[in-house]
């Protein structure tokens, strides 16, 4: 089982990084490449046989390799403020420096950004568009606050326009049947991933496994191998020993710390186990609806960060209840203003830590340790 799980993981990684300069070694990509944000309707791009690259994910990889500080300084020299999302600082720094652990991604033929997770990303993409003389497409998702019918008509007009423009760019015609199959793949990936996430409160599993494992739901969600990979992953971890009930279950509310070997502050939590995390549920998109257009609309207009404050709070509450957590570590992330606001309404003992998911110098470990001590006393 372990072998199958690792083989599938290696295959997905190999495919994703194939055209990065370290592996391409001068070979040009065979497909047109889009640089996309993490909640882009990539089923459309996949159906048109395009390649899509996720700069945010790559910034996380760079930080995990310990290379982010030089690159953050590099982008700052270019005028990008250190207050900006560190994903952008890290990635743009790599582009300026011309170096990164897996090399540089293939040059984009198109830049596609969405505002269904935050408004920072379209700004970052606008800046990238000044560097590369390629089309910039910003997909506007009004979210739960808008009237559903109006939003459906508005978003669908944009999806149809995206299809037309990408058909022209790629030279391929969209096959409706293929798009439907790819959406089904995404659904299957989400379903298989949810089962993996369900293991965290029950089994002796490091959350690191999930923080790293979710990257395939981001980069490869509509590929058929992804559901297969998550199924193998589930079967592998389902055989793990039961969780140690002697350690208090705690909810990790916010991003993984990509620079940290365990992606969370394990050293500050010796008597706790992380039994849940909201981050690992963000890409569990709901492709509900009649036909591909409505399914894509539902999935991408109603992403977690595009929901109303009330719905977000209810979802988060549900997530915490499922985890069985008795306390929460809430992260105030310098790079993301959108992810921690719901924590205000959680009725659990919680500690707030000031962090950045990429920039390790932002965390004051001494202060974080003191806060954890306070939480321990409360409990």
Partner 1 sequence: MNILSLSGFIPEQICDTIRFFGYEGQQRISHYCRYASDYISQILEDPEIDGAVFPRTCDSSRTIASYLEECGKFVYPFHIPARQDRAAVSFLADSIRRYKTAVEQHYGTGLTDIPERTSLVNERNRKFRRLYARLPELSYSAYLDMLHGILRKPLREQRVPDDLPPCPCPGGPKVFIAGSTQTGSGIVRQIEAASLHIVGDRLPESHRLFSAPEVPLEGDIFENIALSMLSAMPSPSQDDFSRILREDRKELLRRQVQGVIFITQKYCEPYDYLFPAYREMLDGLGIKSLRITVSGSQSENEMALAVETFADML
Q: Which of 2, 310, 361, 370 binds partner 1 (CB under 8 A)?
A: 310
Sign of the CA dihedral running 63, 67, 70, 74: negative
Helix ranges, the chain (H): 2-17, 21-24, 42-47, 55-64, 68-77, 86-97, 120-131, 148-170, 176-197, 207-213, 215-219, 224-238, 291-301, 309-323, 365-378
Nearer to partner 1 by Cβ, of 138 and 169: the residue is 138
Distance (Å, rounded) from C-alpha 319 to C-alpha 300?
20
Which pair of structure tokens corresponds to residue 271? 């008597």
Determine, following the binding rule CB under 8 A, whether residue 122 of this chain makes contact with partner 1. Answer: yes
User: What's the closest the beta carbon of residue 122 comes to partner 1, in angstroms?
Assistant: 5
- Classify 14 as helix, strand or coil: helix
Distance CA 1, CA 4 (A): 5
CA angle 332, 61, 84 (to 5 degrees): 40
Sketch the per residue contact string, 182 through 211, with partner 1: x for CB under 8 A, - otherwise.
Answer: ------------------------------
Number of residues forming the site for partner 1 (CB under 8 A): 52
Which H or E run includes 53? Answer: strand 51-53
Q: Which of 4, 169, 293, 341 binds partner 1 (CB under 8 A)?
A: 341
Per-residue string for binding with partner 1, 262-301, x by CB under 8 A?
----------------------------------------
Say if strands 327-333 and 350-355 run parallel, antiparallel, or are unpaired: parallel
* Segment interacting with partner 1, rule: CB under 8 A, options 11-19, 203-211, 266-274, 327-335: 327-335
Q: Which of residues 128-157 bind partner 1 (CB under 8 A)?
A: 129-130, 136, 138, 140, 142-143, 145-147, 150-151, 153-154, 157
Stretch that binds partner 1, among 113-121, 200-208, 315-323, 364-372 (CB under 8 A): 113-121
Beta strands 136-139 and 272-277: pairing type? unpaired
Regarding 333 and contact with partner 1 (CB under 8 A), the answer is yes
Provide the binding-site residues for partner 1, judged by CB under 8 A: 78-81, 83-85, 88, 113, 115, 118-120, 122-127, 129-130, 136, 138, 140, 142-143, 145-147, 150-151, 153-154, 157-158, 308-310, 312-313, 332-338, 341-342, 344-345, 354
């Amino acid at each position: 089982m372990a072998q199958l799980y690792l083989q599938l993981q290696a295959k997905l990684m190999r495919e994703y990084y194939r055209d990065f300069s370290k592996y391409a070694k001068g070979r040009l990509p065979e497909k047109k490449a889009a640089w996309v944000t993490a909640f882009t309707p990539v089923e459309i791009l996949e159906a048109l046989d395009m390649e899509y690259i996720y700069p945010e994910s790559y910034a996380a990889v760079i930080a995990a390799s310990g290379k982010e500080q030089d690159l953050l300084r590099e982008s700052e020299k270019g005028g990008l403020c250190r207050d900006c999302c560190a994903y952008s600082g890290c990635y743009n720094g790599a582009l300026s420096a011309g170096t990164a652990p897996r090399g540089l991604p293939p040059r984009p033929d198109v830049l596609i950004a969405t505002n269904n997770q935050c408004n920072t990303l379209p700004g970052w993409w606008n800046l990238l568009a000044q560097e590369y003389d390629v089309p910039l497409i910003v997909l506007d998702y009004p979210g739960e606050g808008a009237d559903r019918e109006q939003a459906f008509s508005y978003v669908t007009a944009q999806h149809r326009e995206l299809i037309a423009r990408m058909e022209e760019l790629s030279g391929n015609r969209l096959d409706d049947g293929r798009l439907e199959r790819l959406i089904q793949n995404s659904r299957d990936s989400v379903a298989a991933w949810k089962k993996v996430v369900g293991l965290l409160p029950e089994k002796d599993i490091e959350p690191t496994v999930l923080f790293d494992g979710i990257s395939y739901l981001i980069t490869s969600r509509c590929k058929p191998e992804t559901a297969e990979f998550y199924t193998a992953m589930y079967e592998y971890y389902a055989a793990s020993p039961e969780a140690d009930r002697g350690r208090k279950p705690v909810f990790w509310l916010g991003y993984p710390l990509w620079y940290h070997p365990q992606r969370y502050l394990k050293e500050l939590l010796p008597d706790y186990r992380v039994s849940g995390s909201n981050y690992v549920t963000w890409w569990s998109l709901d492709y509900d609806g009649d036909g591909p257009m409505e399914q894509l609309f539902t999935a991408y207009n109603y992403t977690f960060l595009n929901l109303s404050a009330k719905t977000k709070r209810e979802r988060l509450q549900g997530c915490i209840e499922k985890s069985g957590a008795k306390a929460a570590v809430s992260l105030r992330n310098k790079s993301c203003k959108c992810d921690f606001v719901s924590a205000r309404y959680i009725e659990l003992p919680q500690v707030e830590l000031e962090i950045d998911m990429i920039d390790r110098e932002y965390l004051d470990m001494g202060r974080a340790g003191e806060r954890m001590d306070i939480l321990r006393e409360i409990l």
